[in-house]
Amino acid sequence: MAATAVSPGYRVARWGYLAFCVAAFVFLIAPILVLVPLSFNAEPYFTFTEGMLRFDPEAYSLRWYRSMFDGDEWTRPLANSLIIGISATVVATVLGAAAALGLAHPAMPGRKIVTALLISPMITPVIIAGVGMFFFYSNLGLAQTHIGIILAHAVFGAPFVVITVSATLAGFDWTVMRAAANLGANPLVAFRRVQLPLILPGVISGSLFAFAASFDELVIVLFMGGLEQRTLPRQMWSGIREEISPTILAVATFLIVFALLALSTVEWLRRRGAPGGQRAG
């Protein structure tokens, strides 16, 4: 069969489209990726030195990565971020998954209104939410405590779980739950052994987004955190304002790698959750 002729106009349009995609990719990613090589700068500068531009090995160093673990200037904020992030993720996952299961039930009244209220923290300006949470948790005596920040971060993480679990439940075959009930399983056993394994990719995806949202959050910590609750973004903010150190570049690179790993995991879970994904994997 003869090959289909491609017109010159089509080729120009195709190359123009590819050039636009590359330009858009560079515009979006370059300001972030430029931090990575700068984090290996052997000199305490935030710019590329002549040695780095010549690719001189002596111009590159891991000194700023080693400084991350010297003392507790960065290790304590890292520990706080992990403690707060993991705890907030657990709370957000339990509440968000329960809310999504309730919203998926056909007998749930006012489903759209309740859904809009649950995901409203995602569209509310963070500074407004921060002011409100500060006064609310201050009256409860939870300001400048780990528990207060964990609960506040859980509020922002739960919508991610609601959205991902709701999307998973949109294609859920409810006849399997009726089949489990007919075989004698009570609702708890049917959920644990039938429904949960099927919606687990959505639950894990939502929890990863919730953890990333908590791990990267700054405004709430500025309002509600004290010295003992200083997280990694809060320490970076203080470092930029008080003492500019290239260690911030190493921490930023660490966060970029963490975000890439989280997104890769979410994409892997999405592929496994897609029809035929498990067979393809």
| HEC secondary structure over 132-172 | HHHHHHHHCCCCCCHHHHHHHHHHHHHHHHHHHHHHHHHCC
- Separation CA 67–CA 199 (nearest Å): 42
Residue 140's contacts (CB-CB under 8 Å, 6 or more residues apart) are 148
**Rama region for 71: left / alpha / beta (φ>0; ψ in -120 to 50; rest):** left
| Residue 43 structure tokens | 């000199």
Q: In this structure, are residues 99 and 158 in contact, taking their beta carbons and an 8 Å threshold?
A: yes
- Separation CA 153–CA 129 (nearest Å): 11
Three-state DSSP at 41 gives strand
Identify the helix (H) or strand (E) that includes residue 196. helix 196-215
Q: Within 10 A of 88 (CB to CB), how many other CB atoms are there?
A: 26
Query: Which residue is associated with the tokens 């919203």?
Result: 103
Q: In this structure, are residues 118 and 102 in contact, taking their beta carbons and an 8 Å threshold?
A: no
CA 130 to chain centre: 19
Q: In this structure, are residues 198 and 130 in contact, taking their beta carbons and an 8 Å threshold?
A: no
How much is the pTM? Answer: 0.78
Query: 3-40: per-residue pLDDT in tens?
Result: 566 787 888 888 999 999 999 988 888 888 888 888 88
Query: 37-86: per-residue pLDDT in tens?
Result: 888 888 888 888 888 888 888 888 888 888 888 878 888 998 999 999 99
**Of the candidates 122, 259, 270, which has an alpha carbon nearest to the alpha carbon of residue 200?**
270
| Polymer length in residues for the chain | 281
pLDDT, residue 159, reads 93
- Separation CA 110–CA 95 (nearest Å): 18
- Separation CA 212–CA 75 (nearest Å): 18
| Residue 64 structure tokens | 């700023």
pLDDT, residue 44, reads 83
Q: List the chain residues with pLDDT less than 70.
A: 1-5, 243, 272-281
- Separation CA 36–CA 162 (nearest Å): 34
pLDDT, residue 281, reads 38
- Separation CA 160–CA 140 (nearest Å): 26
Q: In this structure, are residues 42 and 27 in contact, taking their beta carbons and an 8 Å threshold?
A: no
